[in-house]
Structure 1
């Protein structure tokens, strides 16, 4: 669906359940994003169907699988998410630790941001992150987002980017 120099971002399918199960149970995912309660393949399939697969069908965007072109390895997920708890769409991402520090998160997030701006025509994009997750905060800033507020719970920072109005 979206190709970058080294990556393909594509919609998730139920065939991605084993990868999703592994990703959402990584200690870093649990610490920085939270426990999704997915403990087996059936739970992973159900979570994919109710989450990214349903959102893709409804909105034309979602959290996508990030696949490395050189070997076809699934390395993470990145995309656009419309949450009931936020006023606008946000960008989300998570990668297996073996693929951190190689520029993949920046490459995929940049492509997702461009898709949101240019294809979906979003007026703005949000980013949410744990205040203790410095690398994720740095990525949001590198994408051009600006800190807005820390939610009252103190567990989440909100970032925002406004896209310039388009004139046809």
Structure 2
């Protein structure tokens, strides 16, 4: 149940007050390089992104991307969570952190908590994840989480290659594809 807490972090649902954080994160050079330009350039566009992406997903499916905050001070550091894309056969784990919070184990800690939430609370037995082929940190993180590279492809609607990983839960039923629903 949300919020998700770890030793150092709190993962919570986005709200409109996170607009400045979203604006900074979605325009960070590493986001633009490895994830892509979402065209969010103003606070109003950030609020719209929050409403139409994480808040809408949380309301419709019961999961979304979550704001990852420092447990002691509540500072937004990054995001981590789940999304259903129409281009993948199961729910996708995603994460991104502001540069000043990378290299400190926060992404791994947050992603481990989200994977646990997916398995225990949402009863998902298979997860996907995507990375840019040049994103060495993400590839390493996914390996630590037990994801295996399955494909390198250009997804529909995209122009660049993506590494596509999958992770099977130890409790996995042979043909379980995770929860249903479409979110782009």
Q: CA offset at residue 166 of structure 1?
A: 6.5
Q: CA offset at residue 155 of structure 1?
A: 1.5
Q: C-alpha deviations, 1:124-162, integer Å up to 9, x for none? A: 000100000000010001000001010146620000011
Find the counterpart in structure 1 of residue 80 from structure 2.
Answer: 78
Find the counterpart in structure 2 of residue 93 from structure 1.
Answer: 95
CA distance in 1, matches of 2:114, 2:82: 7
Query: Do structure 1's residue 23 and structure 2's residue 29 form an aligned pair?
Result: no
CA distance in 2, matches of 1:157, 1:85: 13
Larger relative contact order (C-alpha < 8 A, sep ≥ 6)?
A: 2
2:126 to 124, 127, 138: 124
Find the counterpart in structure 1 of residue 167 from structure 2.
Answer: 161
Q: Bigger shift: 92-101 or 149-158?
A: 149-158
Structure 2 stretches of 5 or more lacking a match?
174-184
Query: Do structure 1's residue 110 and structure 2's residue 112 form an aligned pair?
Result: yes
SS at the partner of 1:42?
Answer: helix
Distance 1:43 1:111, change over 3 A: same
CA distance in 2, matches of 1:9, 1:27: 23
Query: Do structure 1's residue 8 and structure 2's residue 33 form an aligned pair?
Result: no
Q: CA offset at residue 84 of structure 1?
A: 1.7
Find the counterpart in structure 2 of residue 34 from structure 1.
Answer: 36
Q: CA offset at residue 11 of structure 1?
A: 0.3
CA distance in 1, matches of 2:128, 2:7: 25
Count of paired positions: 167
Q: CA offset at residue 85 of structure 1?
A: 1.6
Q: CA offset at residue 18 of structure 1?
A: 0.7
SS at the partner of 1:61?
Answer: coil
Find the counterpart in structure 1 of residue 153 from structure 2.
Answer: 151
Q: TM-score, normalised by structure 2?
A: 0.88
